[in-house]
Amino acid sequence: MATRNRRRLFSSLFIGIVLFWNLQAAFLFIVTPSPYISSFQLEGFSGKVLVQGFGILFLMWNIPYVFAFWNPLQNRLSLIEANLMQLIGLVGETLLQSSLPPGEAILRATAARFILFDGIGLLLLLLALWISRPFKSHSS
């Protein structure tokens, strides 16, 4: 039983780090969007609203992470979903960055931050998935 508790604790720890990063970004985008507007090459009121919309999307996307964090052993499907969502983000942002013309330094830098953010997050979530994997019982 102690091993099961340690697996749950360490899995939740890794998921919790990613969840914290994601929620922090969401709340910053919602509450103080102004510092992020220019990194998307936006401006004014419409830029503020769009960045706040990104924050709301971040909140929505984190629902599976919450359930996985709560109990990764029982809510394994949520952890798998979180891994897939993180992978989609990483691949999509990488493809998006590769499609940008060389002169788009600001957008390239923004994409690079998201790629780094999601890449590290995916590694942590994969580690949580591996730690929380089901063990086969060895009955004699």
Chain-centroid distance of CA 100 in Å reads: 23
The pLDDT of residue 135: 78
Given phi > 0 = left and psi -120 to 50 = alpha, else beta, which region is 45? Answer: alpha
Cα torsion 43, 48, 53, 55: sign: positive
pLDDT tens readout for residues 8-23 = 999 999 999 999 999 9
Given phi > 0 = left and psi -120 to 50 = alpha, else beta, which region is 44? Answer: left
Long-range contacts, 116-119 (Cβ 8 Å, 24+): 117/21, 117/25, 118/86, 118/89, 118/90, 118/93, 119/90
**Predicted structure pTM score:** 0.91
Is residue 1 pLDDT above 60, yes or no? Answer: no
Q: What residue type is assigned to position 106 of the chain?
A: I
Confidence of residue 138 (pLDDT cuts 50, 70, 90): low
Residue 15 · residue 72 · CB < 8 Å? yes
Q: Give me the DSSP letters along 18-54.
A: HHHHHHHHHHHHHH--HHHHGGGT--HHHHHHHHHHH
The pLDDT of residue 134: 86
